[in-house]
Amino acid sequence: MPRIAPPDLAASDLDYQLRCEFEMEVAFIEVAEAAESAGWDPTIIARAMKSLAKNYMLSREANAETDRQIELALTERR
């Protein structure tokens, strides 16, 4: 897996996402090419990666909401 450098810009910087994409690009292409080498169709690979990205965000949001609910319940219990 390629090395991905940590952020060197503030999250509020207009180039923050672009810098992240730049850092992730090599790993992203390696995964896509590995899937294509295994016989997967490039369009399906792109769709799968889009779906995985969406599911990643949904799971993070759900986990954050669960953490918030747990903290609220613990606070109310005290």
- Reading the block at residue 23, the tokens are 């850092």
pLDDT at 59 over 90: yes
Residue 5: strand, helix, or coil: coil
> What span, in angstroms and rounded, lies between the C-alpha atoms of 47 and 42?
9
**How does the average pLDDT of the chain come out, rounded?**
95
> What is the mean predicted confidence (pLDDT) over 32-41?
98
Is residue 77 scored above 90 in pLDDT?
no
SS3 3: coil
Q: Is 80 exceeded by the pLDDT of residue 1?
A: no
Domain boundaries, the chain: 6-39, 41-78
Going by pLDDT thresholds of 50, 70 and 90, the confidence category of residue 20 is very high
